[in-house]
């Protein structure tokens, strides 16, 4: 029995050791990198915006939620309704999509970055950086004063910055995928490999403790 447990412990430990190393390395990265910096919050300069719903001449029916935001200092209304999201100006008229120059102006007014060029994202991309954000989006290629590159994603109708991505975020995203063992989507903690290796790690730990005391008792008898 002891020989079987020792042999099983050896091979199970070998199977989980690489993942245990990845868990440790990714955990160290998370511990030494502030999530605020990973998300790019340190480059944001958002100020206080004040508006009153009474400023809008809009009739709302069956809205699930209502938000007032600033689109380049112009208050706009965002309605979540059964038929989708609506972006309205103060008269209730639908808003057109912002221009590329306006998207650059958003970067200038809301961040410490310099906007270089604008790309339009209309479809989900492999390994995309904007997971879960509604499309289309503007990807504004930017950089800080030190020349560090950033991708800033802007909602083309509301002018809201929905994500700020950098090399640090990409490393964090890779580490997160390795940590939760979801190597593609990187957002599913409840996956089979994660469960399997967690169980194997537990078995390895328990068998190791059992072998330690079993060996210790044998030595005591000798």
Q: Assess whether 92 and 187 both reside in one domain.
A: no
SS (H, E, C) the chain: CHHHHHHHHHHHHHHHHHHHHHHHHHHHHHHCCCHHHHCCHHHECCCCCCCCHHHCCCCCCCEEEEEEEEECCEEEEEEEECCEEEEECCCCCECCCCCHHHHHHHHHHHECCEEEEEEEECCCCCCCCCCCCCCCEEEEEEECCCCCEEEEEECCCCCCEEEEECHHHHHHHHHHHHHHCCCCCCCCCCCHHHHHHHHHHHHHHHHHHHHHHHHHHHHHHC
Please give the C-alpha separations between residue 45 and each of 51, 67, 138, in angstroms, as whole numbers. 19, 21, 19
**pLDDT at position 47, please?**
74
* 172 within a domain of the structure (yes/no): no
* 91 within a domain of the structure (yes/no): yes
Tokens representing residue 9 in the block: 């412990």
Give the rounded percent of residues in the chain with a pLDDT score beyond 70: 88
Residue 2 has pLDDT above 70, yes or no: no
HSE-up (13 A, CA, CB side) for residue 55: 12
Q: Assess whether 116 and 24 both reside in one domain.
A: no
Q: Assess whether 46 and 156 both reside in one domain.
A: yes
Q: Assess whether 30 and 53 both reside in one domain.
A: no
* 171 within a domain of the structure (yes/no): no
* 191 within a domain of the structure (yes/no): yes
**Listed residues 141, 165, 189: the one ending a domain:** 165
When pLDDT is averaged across residues 65-71 and rounded to a whole number, the result is 91
Q: Assess whether 104 and 203 both reside in one domain.
A: no
* 201 within a domain of the structure (yes/no): yes
Q: Assess whether 96 and 151 both reside in one domain.
A: yes
**Number of independent structural domains in the chain:** 2
Q: Assess whether 77 and 144 both reside in one domain.
A: yes
* 213 within a domain of the structure (yes/no): yes
Residue 220 has pLDDT above 70, yes or no: no
**Listed residues 143, 165, 187: the one ending a domain:** 165
Q: Assess whether 47 and 120 both reside in one domain.
A: yes
Q: Assess whether 16 and 123 both reside in one domain.
A: no
69 or 60, higher pLDDT: 69
**pLDDT at position 205, please?**
78
* 173 within a domain of the structure (yes/no): no
Q: Assess whether 81 and 141 both reside in one domain.
A: yes
Q: Assess whether 49 and 158 both reside in one domain.
A: yes
* 170 within a domain of the structure (yes/no): no
Q: Assess whether 22 and 49 both reside in one domain.
A: no
Domain that residue 195 falls in: 2-34+178-221
Residue 177 has pLDDT above 70, yes or no: yes
**pLDDT at position 219, please?**
53
Residue 49 has pLDDT above 90, yes or no: no
Min mean pLDDT across 18-22, 67-71, 97-101, 199-203 is at: 199-203
23 or 56, higher pLDDT: 23
């Amino acid at each position: 029995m002891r020989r079987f447990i020792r042999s099983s412990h050896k091979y199970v430990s070998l199977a989980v050791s690489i993942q245990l190393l990845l868990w440790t390395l990714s955990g160290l990265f998370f511990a030494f990198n502030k999530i605020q910096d990973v998300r790019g919050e340190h480059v944001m300069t958002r100020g206080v915006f004040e508006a009153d719903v009474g400023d809008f001449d809009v009739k709302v029916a069956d809205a699930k939620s209502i938000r007032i935001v600033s689109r380049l200092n112009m208050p706009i209304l965002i309605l979540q309704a059964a038929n989708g999201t609506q972006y309205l100006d103060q008269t209730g008229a639908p808003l057109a999509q912002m221009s590329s120059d306006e998207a650059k102006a958003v970067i200038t007014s809301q961040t410490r970055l310099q906007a270089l060029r604008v790309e339009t994202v209309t479809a989900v991309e492999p390994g995309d950086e904007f997971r879960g954000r509604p499309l289309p989006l503007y990807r504004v290629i930017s950089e800080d004063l030190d020349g560090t590159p950033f991708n800033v994603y802007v909602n083309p109708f509301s002018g809201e910055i929905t994500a700020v991505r950098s090399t640090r975020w990409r490393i964090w995203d890779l580490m997160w995928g390795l940590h939760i063992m979801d190597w593609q989507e990187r957002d599913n903690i409840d996956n089979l490999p994660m469960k399997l290796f967690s169980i194997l790690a537990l078995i390895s730990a328990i068998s190791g403790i059992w072998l330690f005391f079993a060996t210790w008792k044998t030595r005591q008898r000798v």
